[in-house]
A and B are shown apart, each in its own frame.
Chain A
Amino acid sequence: AAGVIQSPRHLIKEKRETATLKCYPIPRHDTVYWYQQGPGQDPQFLISFYEKMQSDKGSIPDRFSAQQFSDYHSELNMSSLELGDSALYFCASSLGDAGQASYNEQFFGPGTRLTVL
């Protein structure tokens, strides 16, 4: 079965540089989420899209932005990178085919490990 695809898997950047992370959700899933996970931390919600429209915002810094395109892939754009942005970034997707309960089962991609030097 198709899974969530993320690219790149690893990314090394310098401070103040920009980075773009890509996510391809599972086909027909209607919601895409971005989470950030620091070392030894739990995943923190950044932003989500429902049917290509931004639906919720979490603790996403103003330096970050995201969008979902017509083909349903999503990109997380990160500017003015800081050392503290070093983390695993996960994209997840879900389908509300059984109503609200379905959103509790989210399918995570393998993540992008971002290292800011």
Chain B
Amino acid sequence: GQSLEQPSEVTAVEGAIVQINCTYQTSGFYGLSWYQQHDGGAPTFLSYNALDGLEETGRFSSFLSRSDSYGYLLLQELQMKDSASYFCAVRDRGTGRRALTFGSGTRLQVQP
């Protein structure tokens, strides 16, 4: 099986940088994904890391260290619209299952 841990809440101000950490345990590993979900909305794919290192997509970056079973999502130049829940997710390579197992989510609140 898999388990993922991430902080439950993070608060930051507009224009700041915030890092959301995720540690995982899996029987196999297809990579670490990140999803954003606004209240009442659908999860939206942000990024995916299969290999170690940093992936940058605009204001968002994601990092992975497979040896440490650790990753993070970095959000820069925070905007009010970034207030949302952020989930890290993995797939179970051991079963070959395509479905995602999500972490419990980190609720990010951006303040003026």
A residues neighboring B (CB under 8 Å): 31, 33, 41-45, 48, 50, 55-56, 58, 90, 92, 94, 96, 100-101, 103-111
Contacts and interface: CB of A to CB of B under 8 A. Distances in A.
The range of chain B's interface size is 20 to 34
Contacts of B48: 101, 104-105
A100 B104 CA distance: 24
Contacts, number: 63
Interface of B: 30-31, 33, 41-45, 48, 50, 87, 89, 91, 95, 97-105
B99 A58 contact: yes
Given A90-B42, A101-B48, A101-B50, A42 B30 contact: no
Contacts of A109: 42
Contacts of A58: 99
